[in-house]
Amino acid sequence: MSSGCKIYIYFFLGLLLSAMSWLAFFFMVIYLDKSYFIEWELYFYNSSLMSVSLIFDWMSCLFMFTVCLISSGISLYSMYYMSEEDNYIRFFFILFFFMCSMGFLIISPNLISLLLGWDGLGLTSYALIIFYQSESSGSAGMLTILSNRIGDVAILISIGLVLVKGGWNFIYLDDLGGSLVVSLIILAGLTKSAQMPFSAWLPAAMAAPTPVSALVHSSTLVTAGVYLLIRFSEVVNSSGLGKYLFYISIMTMFMAGLSANFEMDLKKVIALSTLSQLGLMMMILSAGCSELAFFHLISHAMFKSTLFMCSGCIIHESGGWQDLRTMSGLVNSSPLLSVVLNIVNMALCGVPFLAGYYSKDLILEVGLGGMSGFASVILVGLATGLTVSYSLRLLYSSLDSSGKGCSLMGSGDMNMVVIISVSGLLFSSVISGFVLSWVVVPSADMSVVLGFSLKYLVFIVSFIFSVGVFFEVSEISNVYNSMLILIWLKKSLSQMWFMPNISGALMGSTYLYSGELSFKNMDGGWIEFYGSGSGHKLVMNMGSLIQTGQKSIVVSSYLVSIYLMIMVAMYSVT
């Protein structure tokens, strides 16, 4: 066994032991009904206290258990996926610092100590995304870190504005000093959780290795913004800014679901599904139900990490292919992988008695029961139907055996390392929703009574979209795919409403065009004509004039006489 494999195994065992410890601590906190707060005072100056604070309540302990459990499975999975990489030691250490940054963010109730974990996530995620050191990964990493820097600056400004409160422990603050600070906190959460208009970086982050995608898009980077707003939920709701967060989240859900149905890249479809679920969390969070948002955050982390690991196995075994149109033969060549993929896919879809059902059904009932606008109800129903649509599309692609392209018939099934790494998360994807529905969800005000139209709205819309999926993947659609208007429409809808172009190509092309114009008119134009070019021309003309003068008979005879005089003088001296 190589040293790299030993590192991943030790890391797996250490994280698994940490997960069990956090789970025991979580049940102890629940049983004793207590929270533990630890604070180290750094200095006290001018009535302002700067300290490093840690909080251990039921929420932080449960989230730490989830992160450690998922990280343990992914660390063992990395031994399988990154076995042929030369820089596996560097990958391991960057992944380790990434997990430490996320853990420090979870247990920090202080804005200054939270900033350490927040910035650590941004830096290490950039290093992980550019791990392959290609042009696409470099541009994706730059888009990611620049988008996240907006949230970093927002937190830095909020730290300066909260100074008047005499401290930065936000769990003790009922008022942050105005709506400006709350707006900055919401902005930081939107950038880290890739809500509109900062959604372009999340699908671009798929340039990272699949273990990184499984960790980033399940329980760490993208959930950091949701977790931050969960901690600030009371302040956000009291400020009256929750309604703006509500509309942003609904539009993000609808946009991500619509784009996922027309996307052909396997990893990007799963990334867009993550974006849709983040919008669902933000929607119920803006309605004042922070516990429900946290409930769906935990259950979503379980099945989404497993879904990414299964997609990584498909890509790894098919030689790098990740186009849904070329997937075929998976159910025959890899039956175990197909079963695991479809179980977690159904959990994402919200099939009853799986993890996603308990949280999503309750969120939709509470959300639809509290909505007053007709457009909001329709958008939520459509976004949920689109979730069912792209889940069924992925299900059809995994079960199809028609041989559309690069067949997976020659690929192997999951090996023992992948089975061990996936088994715990698969088990959690099945039972975590049922267990957490008794532990996390408050039972006092969760009685929801909906009318017939709202109760069956999601089911009706889901059925309509399932018919649309059948139409999309059937042979009948080949006739309509030849129509130019439909080709243009599908291409437009698959590009996230041109958000990647706005965030990347449009901003980059603007500066490139202005630079080209400046070079053409200044460096290659007037400055070149009157500057270096004009000086060079003047020197050349003066040199040619001097050379012309030296060619005359008078100058030539004068130079010859001078040369003879020098020779005579040297001869007389000797």
- Express each pLDDT in 302-344 by its tens digit: 888 888 888 888 877 776 677 776 776 677 777 788 888 888 8
Task: Mark whether 419 and 556 lie in a shared domain.
Answer: no
Q: Would residue 568 count as lying in a domain? A: yes
**Confidence (pLDDT) at 321:** 72
Residue 373: inside a domain:
yes
* Same domain membership, residue 542 and residue 472: no
State whether 407 and 556 are in the same domain.
no
- Look at residue 115 in the predicted model and tell me its pLDDT: 86
296 located within any domain = yes
Q: Is residue 229 part of a domain?
A: no
Domain assignment present for residue 523? The answer is: no
Q: Report yes or no: 337 and 408 within 8 Å, Cβ to Cβ.
A: no
Q: How far apart are CA 137 and CA 140, in angstroms?
A: 5
The per-residue DSSP string of 338-365 comes to HHHHHHHHHHHHT-TTSHHHHHHHHHHH
Do 455 and 554 belong to one domain? no
pLDDT at 408: 47
> Shortest CA distance to 194 belongs to which of 124, 268, 114, 131?
268
Range 485-489 average pLDDT: 55
Q: Is the pLDDT of residue 379 over 70?
A: yes
Q: Is the pLDDT of residue 558 over 60?
A: yes
Do 303 and 444 fall within a single domain?
Answer: yes
Whole-number pLDDT of residue 409: 45
pLDDT of 477 reads 47
Q: How far apart are CA 573 and CA 46, in angstroms?
A: 89
* High-pLDDT (> 70) share of the chain, %: 72
Cis peptide leading into residue 500 (ω within 30°): no
Local confidence band at 31 (pLDDT 50, 70, 90 cut-offs): confident
- Same domain for 371 and 443, yes or no, is yes
**Contacts from 13-22 at CB under 8 Å and sequence distance 24+?**
13/72, 15/68, 15/69, 15/71, 15/72, 15/75, 15/99, 16/68, 16/69, 16/72, 18/68, 18/72, 19/65, 19/68, 19/69, 19/72, 22/61, 22/62, 22/64, 22/65, 22/68
300 belongs to a structural domain:
yes
Between 80 and 527, the more confident residue is 80
Kind plus residue range of the DSSP H or E element containing 382: helix 374-399
The verdict on residue 403 lying in a domain is yes
- pLDDT score recorded for residue 142: 84
Shared-domain flag, residues 454 and 559: no
Q: Are residues 471 and 382 in the same domain?
A: yes
Q: Is the pLDDT of residue 345 over 70?
A: yes
| Same domain membership, residue 448 and residue 312 | yes
Into how many domains does the chain fold? 2
Domain that holds residue 574: 535-574
Average pLDDT, the chain: 76
Q: Would you say residue 320 lies in a domain? A: yes
Residue 364 has pLDDT above 60, yes or no: yes
